[in-house]
Amino acid sequence: MKKLFAEFFGTFWLVFGGCGSAVLAAAYPELGIGFAGVALAFGLTVLTMAYAVGHISGGHFNPAVTLELVAGGRFQAKDAISYIIAQVVGGIVGAAVLYAIASGKAGFDAVDSGFASNGFGEHSPNGFSLTAVVIAEIVLTAFFLIIIHGATDKRAPAGFAPIAIGLALTLIHLISIPVSNTSGNPAPFYCSCSIPRRLGC
pLDDT averages per 10-residue partition of the chain, 201 residues: 95 92 80 88 94 93 90 92 95 91 81 66 86 91 90 90 94 91 59 39 33
Q: CB burial class (10 A; 0-12, 13-18, 19+) of residue 97?
A: middle
Q: Give the pLDDT confidence score for residue 126 in this predicted structure.
A: 87
Assigned domain for 196 exists:
no
CATH number assigned to the domain comprising residue 47: 1.20.1080.10
pLDDT tens-place string over residues 62-108: 898 999 899 988 999 999 999 999 999 999 999 899 989 988 888 77
- Residue 197 Cα to chain centre, angstroms: 19
Assigned domain for 198 exists:
no
Q: Give the pLDDT confidence score for residue 198 in this predicted structure.
A: 36
**pTM (two decimals):** 0.83
Assigned domain for 65 exists:
yes
Number of domains in the chain: 1
Assigned domain for 185 exists:
no
The whole domain housing 99 covers 1-180
The answer to whether 16 touches 48, Cβ cutoff 8 Å, is no
